[in-house]
Amino acid sequence: MTNFSFEHSVVGPASVEAVWALWSDVDRWVEWDESLESVTLSGPFAEGSSGTMTIKGQGAIPFTLTSVSEGVGFVDETSVPDAVLRFSHRVEQVAEGVRVTHSVEIEGPAAAFLGPVVTADLPDAVEALVKLAS
């Protein structure tokens, strides 16, 4: 059961390839997501690879890529005490360039608390990603 969900889309004059290049190079995530200090990935940007995200003021949090479809999107999953967080990222070509959508689903007892905290800066991050890719 999903206890919390959130989705945000941004349309901008970027290309699918430019967005994908930024997503698949996890070292660059800090360029468009200001909440991140660093991101590492052990292995290729592919389903099953795992890594850590260091969130400013919170330390390192492990994540696993649970789905990767090149040029389309990916899903990463993080488990924390009392919650599982799934972040979905999708890109599609539209007349204006691309539509980038990031969504979050959180399951578990801590979902109601974590949801607003985790998603507070998500719109800014998606906007920054599209701008950087343009």
> What DSSP string describes 109-129?
TTHHHHHHHHHTTHHHHHHHH
Topology adopted by domain 4-133: Alpha-D-Glucose-1,6-Bisphosphate; Chain A, domain 4 (3.30.530)
Q: Which helix (H) or strand (E) holds 131?
A: helix 122-133
Tens of pLDDT, residue by residue over 51-108, are 999 999 888 999 999 999 999 999 999 999 999 999 999 999 999 999 999 999 999 9
* Neighbouring-strand partners of residue 36: 55
Amino acid at 89: H
Closest by alpha carbon to 28, among 130, 129, 134, 131?
129
pTM of the model: 0.94
Tens of pLDDT, residue by residue over 28-52, are 999 999 999 999 999 999 999 999 9
Q: What angle do CA 87, 93, 96 make, to 5 degrees?
A: 115
